[in-house]
Amino acid sequence: MLGFGAGRAVAEPALQYHCGGGSQLGQNTGLAALHKALALPATTNLQNLARTRFSTWLTSTLALTNNPSSALMLEPLVGDVAENESLGSFGGASSFILALHLDATRAQAWQDTLAKIFGGGGETFACKPFSGRRWNVAGSHSFWIIPARDWLLVGCGDDFSPAQAQYLSQIQALGRPVPALKEHWLEADMTTARLGGWFRLLQPARIRMTITPNGDGLQIGARVIETQAIPWKSGPWQIPGDLMRGQIISFTAGQNVAAFLNVNPALSRLPGNPLTNQFYFWAGDQMPFLNYMAWPEADASNVLNELSTQAPAALNPILKRFNGTELVWHPEARQLSMQNIRLFVPALEAVQAHDGPFLLLSSFPRTPGNAAPDALLSQIKGRTNLVAYDWELTGRRLSELQILGGMIANRACAQKSEGEDYAEIEMKWLEGLVPLGGATVTEITRVAPNELSVTRQAPVGLTAVELTLFADWLCDANAGPIYQ
């Protein structure tokens, strides 16, 4: 998929990518919602914050301490990478190669800026048929830059020297380091074992991803190739359609997704684990916080009895550290509820549905209304290779999540806002996206014993939950990088 050819790195890359850059997206006449999102003043503020934070992180990671203004000087260079076509391989914080399509003025600006950061022009070195400059960084590492026609190669260390030689040879022969992107805007290849953050939740795998403009939205595709066959089995879908009432703005179904995850041991040992079973989530639109999750349990009442003692013991220490909540068993109502959340009390109970007994987690008691439309439920009925399905009205869901997130994770928000107005930037950006989101649909299917296929069609590429988590991570002053 990626045009890296025979230029195999000495170190196994954590991430390889090829991207057309923001300017290419800007030239696309479709993508109405995305263009509106990018034009928001709040998006500009978020982009500025992203450049600042990433430049500060680079300065620290690469030990660029010779000049106290290093982070500030790096910000325009980071902006060049976001705006222009680029490709690269990353093995870690101090081992990478980046090829960037730049005009002569910006390429010279890079050379001048790096000379100021490192306190001098560096050492000249030859890399036929071009020449570059190199600076010693953190002892054994070196930071280098090579202008090559209308491309600029930048890197740290020698792990990717074979790719460097291949890129330069291709630029000399064809004017480009790799063939131009044709239908895709982004191609990426990543190894989850080398990545941090949310990627640690996945079993070791290689992910090959593409993002393609498609009409008024983005089409995202991915192949998740596990290192070994995954013992996943499907069963007939037991959809609690009669429990799903009223206007639905979000619906998710999954089956044995735990097979592909590194599940928290405290959760995996509990009886009635929905991640090892089927689960169904839906959100209603009659009022805020109408969120429900149900999963079939043949002996739901007895499983609830076991959870009444085991779940508080396993999860309360985690919940109290996170946001001061706790699970409490109410024997008279036969409900296990989460206490200390404002306005509502999520509760777990055993219920009888048309398709059998279920455990039902509710934020509020179920409301009356028409049953869920069969057109929605038919997206999963009879499908034997479907691991997960998700549909949502992204703008409506995002509006609700802003309120819900502030109530549940208020401790994290307080940390973000300390010393910087990060929380205000995050809130205004998410508010600006609310009117823009249409329907986002994601499907995950098992196509081989060790392989998953992921497809998505979305107005702005991400779901409401993902947009919220992304903004939360970016606006968290204590957040780390996505790779080790």
pLDDT above 60: residue 388: yes
The yes-or-no verdict on residue 223 having pLDDT over 50 is: yes
- Under the banding of pLDDT at 50, 70 and 90, the label for residue 414 is very low
Output the CA torsion sign for 45, 49, 88, 80. Answer: positive
Find the mean pLDDT for residues 108-117. Answer: 94
Report the C-alpha gap between 470 and 463 in whole angstroms: 10
- H/E element, 312: helix 300-323
| The pLDDT value given to residue 327 | 95
Candidates 410, 277, 415, 301; CA nearest to 350 is: 301
Give 206's Cβ-side CA count (13 Å radius): 9
User: Mean pLDDT throughout 99-120?
Assistant: 94
The domain ranges of the chain are 15-223, 227-448
**Predicted local distance difference test score (pLDDT) of residue 11:** 58
| Residue 274 predicted with pLDDT over 60 | yes
**Pair of tokens at residue 158:** 């020698």
Q: Tens digits of per-residue pLDDT, 36-53?
A: 999 999 999 999 999 999
Strand partners, 388: 254, 444
Give the separation between CA 164 and CA 146, rounded to whole angstroms. Answer: 10
Over the range 184-202, which residues count as b (16 or more CB within 10 Å of their CB) and which as e?
Answer: bbbbbbbbbbbbeeebeeb
- Tell me which of 258-267, 366-375, 412-421, 431-440 is least confident: 412-421
What pLDDT was estimated at residue 6?
Answer: 38
* Residue 291 main-chain phi, psi, to 5 deg: -115, 135
For the segment 308-320, what is each residue's pLDDT rounded down to a tens digit? 999 999 999 988 8
pLDDT of residue 181: 95
Checking if the pLDDT of 436 tops 60, the result is: yes
Q: What is the pLDDT of residue 472?
A: 86
Find, among 141, 105, 144, the residue nearest to 124 by Cα.
Answer: 144
| 92 — pLDDT class (breaks 50, 70, 90) | low
Residue 419 has pLDDT above 60, yes or no: no
Q: What is the DSSP string of 18-51?
A: EE-HHHHHHT-S--HHHHHHHHSHHHHHHHHHHH
Nearest 5°: CA angle at 184, between 183 and 189? 140
CB atoms within 10 A of CB 287: 10
Residue 5: what pLDDT? 40
pTM more than 0.75: yes
Helix residue ranges per DSSP H, 153-299? 161-174, 265-268
pLDDT tens digit sequence for 324-372? 899 999 999 999 999 988 778 899 999 999 999 999 999 888 877 788 8
Backbone angles phi, psi at 112, to 5 degrees: -65, -40
CA–CA separation, 76 and 239 (whole Å): 52
**Is pLDDT above 60 for 466?**
yes
How large a percentage of the chain has pLDDT more than 70?
91
SS3 label, residue 224:
strand
Query: Using 50, 70 and 90 to split pLDDT, how confident is the model at 390?
Result: very high
Please determine, for residue 62, whether its predicted confidence score (pLDDT) is greater than 60. Answer: yes
Smallest CA-to-CA distance from 295 within 329, 261, 272 is with 272
Q: Please tell me the predicted confidence (pLDDT) of residue 109.
A: 96
Residue from 81, 78, 121, 101 nearest 180 by CA: 101
> Between residues 116 and 289, which one has the greater pLDDT?
116
Give bridge partners of residue 276 from the DSSP assignment: none
Task: Using alpha carbons, select from 411, 410, 392, 407 the residue that is nearest to residue 466.
Answer: 392
Q: Which whole number is the average pLDDT over 390-409?
A: 80
pLDDT of amino acid 481: 54
DSSP string spanning 409-432?
SHHHHHHHHSSS-HHHHHHHHHHH
Separation CA 301–CA 356 (nearest Å): 12
**Average pLDDT across the chain, whole number:** 88
Dist. CA 168–CA 174, nearest whole Å: 10
Residue 411 is predicted with a pLDDT of: 40
Angle at 297 between CA 295 and CA 299, to 5 degrees: 155
